[in-house]
Chain A
């Protein structure tokens, strides 16, 4: 994917991270299952058998995946309408979008959906390169308020009112 990068760092490739994560998941499934107490009064298999099977299979696939990546195998990065597949991955952007999302998660219950949701939209559109700040802010507020009214008042879905409790 990024030939210069893989050359520079020798055997390390970014995909190795994902392969090792899969391996870790396999080990975790096995280790986590060992703690599960087997009930005594069950006919047939207990709650451990299937997870051990799956954990074992994941670990085996994980080992093959790691080997494949180290030997230089790779998949095709997904193509999409808005993707520049040849561009190097911009991790800063991913971090920015992720940060905005996590901040939204932390603030949602206190601020309520209308404010937190509007801030989420505003933050993300700026992070993704929206040029008009004012327009982005207006759309954000309209969407935040509109979804709240439509889903809470219209469809009866449960969203937090937060600071605006009693106002709308």
Chain B
């Protein structure tokens, strides 16, 4: 039996999307794994999951995680000592340091087969780029927006501020070019690349030669049906319950959904007796203020983040599961992100209400299981909310579609890939 080394900063009990994706894949695989991870640093994660069953085929090798740098060094040291034990290494990103370890491992043992798995792109991540300012607020280009007077336009103070702003932008620009180089090195050095959807693959390897293109494999996120067994409180009302589980911020914002609820409520004052919407996890303060300002708290409730297994039970207990993707239409025509939670939603076998870009990974997944996809318009969302709440709108889940995202199926695909490695 092949012994595979997995390098992943995140792995349960640390609660993070990447760690859980890795966990479900390895748990359902027939191979044995040594996972180099850490349990002391929950930075950028959502707390801990103490209730997940241990994988029998996984041996955890925990290294100190005080910092990524220290962890990276410890993992490389470990590999140096055990290099003969492994023929295959799989590195999981994010964070990209796992892949940096993969590069070092490949240098130490060039014959090792390196599988690099990407949750998101490292460089030119549209989600990150969207948040970056493109034009200096002191630039003359902003004269209409900022309503500059002629005095300000010709002022040396403005010119100096503009120069200073541009100087400060060197940092992110240099970081971006460093990321591009790193991603390029990974893609050209590794032996197989795992993407979670076709759009991500095309986005990341466009412009590369055939050799890199042929390395790409698509392994979708998956759900594990054995994990949906936690009991939750019984429901006491007959309202339609729509649930969102996960992280929201200013870029991935539910604002348009909240606006639609507000508009529907205006037309249907009895809405609060028929609909309840729960958000589990972080929401930006601006959206929370919006909820208060528009008196939507009788319909929309914000709940504390919950551990992974409880979240699965909450999904099972909902009538509709809300999926929200960031609106990146100004940056790209097709969404390259397949949120891991979508696979868990599918595993809950509840209809999905997907607020997503019309073309791309998120929409394709939702459509694959006969969910509803709505674009970023209040009117469209309102229409569907009305149909769901007042017209008992239903969709029939597509079993074939569901099966594509079953962890057993996905792990089988992965196992086939490993078997082909000599």
Please say whether chains A and B are actual partners in one complex: no
Q: Which residues of B pack against A, CB within 8 Å?
A: none
Q: What residues make up the interface of A, taking CB atoms closer than 8 Å to B?
A: none
